[in-house]
Homo-oligomer: A and B are copies of this chain.
Amino acid sequence: MNDLLLRACRSEPVPRPPVWLMRQAGRYLPEYRAIRARHDFLTMVRTPELAAQITLQPVDLLGVDAAILFSDILVVPAAMGLALSVEDGTGPVFHDPIRAAADVDRLRVFEPEVALAFQLEAIRLARQSLAGRVPLIGFAGGPWTLASYMVEGGGTREYRVMRRMLAEAPALVRRLLELLTAAVTASLRAQVQAGAEVVQVFESAAGALGPRDFLELALPSLSQVVKAARATGVPVIAFAPGAACGLSAIARETTAEVVGIDWHTDPAVARAALSAGAVACQGNLDPAWLFAPPAVIRERTREMVAAFGPRGYIVNLGHGVLPETPVAHVQEFVAASQGR
């Protein structure tokens, strides 16, 4: 078994750092688009056989050192009773977003084994198909990120509705975060039980808050989730791109073994911020650089790997693969990082 990822998460010595890519199972792959042509996105997420098949695609096609479950962070709010639809072009939408106390009252606590059975079954099937080749990563959205999406109702640049709600009705936002903290914790525990060997928490909307608000409001719920996931025994990766409080606060408060580094952060600065706690780093090439000529991709990748250094490091992008990225360029990134 290729256990590079597990060893890197624990900052153990490795012959080379492992590599995988956020959104590696996604639209840039023709093999993914072939499935997408026959099924809508939510059907793919909710059909264990399809989700497992998509999860395996990049392992076969790219030779990455980890698989990440094909799923979506918004299955958790959907399981809480918020109707989710995915529309071509605009992405996932909640047509009845959370705007008032009554909307929060309607959310329900759920049993992952029932409400997210499709996700857990996908994990079991993916583990079978992987047959120990590489570890499988489970994941969930951070409470603040899920809350923001539920309040906004869809993708947003500035999170104006959520930020206004936080100023006008902070108690309501806190109640929503509490519910989500419990829900995300339950989801991650169930994923580990089903076979996830590492979990990543995506606090993708971290950048919607200033430093004080992130520290006071979002970080406590993120930390609770990470600590609960750690208690299951698997390594946890905390990724909070653009978190204004800084990486050292993320590492210190969450106690995650690995902190994801976004592409706005210089590798040396990230290492300096995290060195005290001996926390592993994951990241962080700007995904747009995968559009560059292969020689440039190789050069940037090698420079990044050298800047992070070999120990406690997981090669990745600083954000998800962009949909139009040429597959050959992604392969170049993987090969360069593996010294091929």
Chain A interface (Cβ within 8 Å of chain B)?
155-157, 160, 163-164, 166-168, 207, 210-213, 242, 244, 263-266, 269, 286, 288-292, 296, 318, 322, 324
Evaluate contact between B286 and A318: CB separation under 8 angstroms: no
Question: Which residue of A164, A168, A242, A289 has the most chain B CB atoms within 10 A of its CB atom?
Answer: A164
- What is the count of identical protomers in the complex? 2
Other-chain contact of A211, B264, B289, B296 (Cβ < 8 Å): B264
A292 CB contact (under 8 Å) in B168, B207, B296: B168
Residue of B nearest to A215 (CB): B266
Q: Which residues of B contact A286 (CB under 8 A)?
A: 163, 210, 213
Contact between chains at B167 and A288 (CB < 8 Å): yes
20 additional A-B pairs beyond A164-B322, A211-B265, beta carbons within 8 Å, are A156-B157, A157-B157, A160-B288, A163-B288, A163-B291, A164-B288, A164-B291, A167-B289, A167-B290, A167-B291, A167-B296, A168-B291, A207-B264, A210-B263, A210-B264, A210-B286, A210-B318, A211-B264, A242-B264, A244-B264
- Specify which chain B residues have a CB less than 8 angstroms from the CB of A288 in the assembled complex: 160, 163-164, 166-167
Give the distance in Å from the alpha carbon of A210 to the alpha carbon of B287 in the complex.
Answer: 11
Contact B211 A266 (CB under 8 A): yes
Query: Given the complex of chains A and B, what is the CA–CA distance between A20 and B166 in angstroms?
Result: 24
